[in-house]
Amino acid sequence: MATQATSPADSESADLVSRARLGDSEALGALYDAFGACLYRLAYRLIGSREDAEDVVHDVFVGLPEALGRYEERGRLGAWLRRVTARVALMRLRRRNHRREVGLEGADAVATPTPHDRTSEHATLQAAVDALPVGLRSVLVLKEMEAYSHAEIAEILGITAVTSRVRLLRALRRVRRELEDHK
């Protein structure tokens, strides 16, 4: 089960959704306050760039009033938003790869040192994750970092749960190999 965003109560969510659908900026702002940080973290982990992650979250919320017209309120708003965000992030990642832009490994990893960057092993781990093909990386991020189930990953990525499992195994194998090579 994926980690849940801190979200408003259901009745409050429903009210915010109704108002946001109508383009109420206050409601949109409240939704951002409730879900923005969680969605940004997800986008960042998927896409590996602060700027791109901000653009993803920006686009999600700018498009949200219209998109909410297609939200059927069957499930949790947070889960729905996370799915939408993941898709937008992956779209952006795909476009970026087409343009052969420098990703995390060339930019943010240097600009945004984290505790894990302090050792070469962690840097190697980060590089190994970044070097994964998008299809493998996205499964790895969603499963290992975001704690989604394979069924949830399947829904987000439009793949089967079996494929998700296969990709995770392949991603883990590649990362492990990279780490061993750098021992």
Partner 1 sequence: MIKDFRVVLREWPAPEAGSELRERILMSRAGGRRVGLPVDRSAGWRVRLLVAAAAVVAIVAIATLGRGRANQGAYADLLSGAPWWPTVSAAQEPRTPPRAPRYALIGDLDQTRVAGGTWTYEGRTTTDGILTGTTGQFAITASATRLDGTPAWLVTTERRPIPDATDSLFVSQATLRPLRYAVNSSNSRTHIVQQYSVDSVHETIDVIGRGERHLRNTVALPGALHTPGLVLSAFATDLNLVTQALPLQRGWRGSAYTFGLMSQAGPIPPFVPIDFRVVGRDLVTVPAGTFECWKLEVIRGYEGEARSHLWVSRDRQWIVKAEYRGGDFVTEQVLTSYAGVR
Considering only residues 14 to 73 of the shown chain, the ones binding partner 1 according to CB under 8 A are 23, 25, 28-29, 32-33, 36-37, 40-41, 44-45, 50, 53-54, 57-67, 69-72
Shortest CB 116 distance to partner 1, Å: 7
Site string for partner 1, 142-161 (x = CB under 8 A): --xx-x------xxxxxxx-
Considering the complex, state which of residue 16 and residue 129 has its C-beta at the smaller distance from partner 1: 129
Which residue type does 21 have? R
Residue 19: CB atoms within 10 Å:
18
Angle at 23 between CA 11 and CA 66, to 5 degrees: 90
Asked if 112 touches partner 1 (CB under 8 A), the answer is yes
How far apart CA 179 and CA 107 sit, in angstroms, is 21
* Residues 6+ positions from 69 with CB-CB distance below 8 Å: 21
Single out the residue of 129, 142, 148, 152 in contact with partner 1 (rule: CB under 8 A): 129
Considering the complex, state which of residue 18 and residue 112 has its C-beta at the smaller distance from partner 1: 112
Single out the residue of 14, 97, 106, 177 in contact with partner 1 (rule: CB under 8 A): 97
Asked if 109 touches partner 1 (CB under 8 A), the answer is no
- Judge contact between 13 and 75, C-beta under 8 A: no
Helix axes 10-21, 50-67, angle to 10 degrees: 80
Shortest CB 9 distance to partner 1, Å: 21
Which residue type does 87 have? R
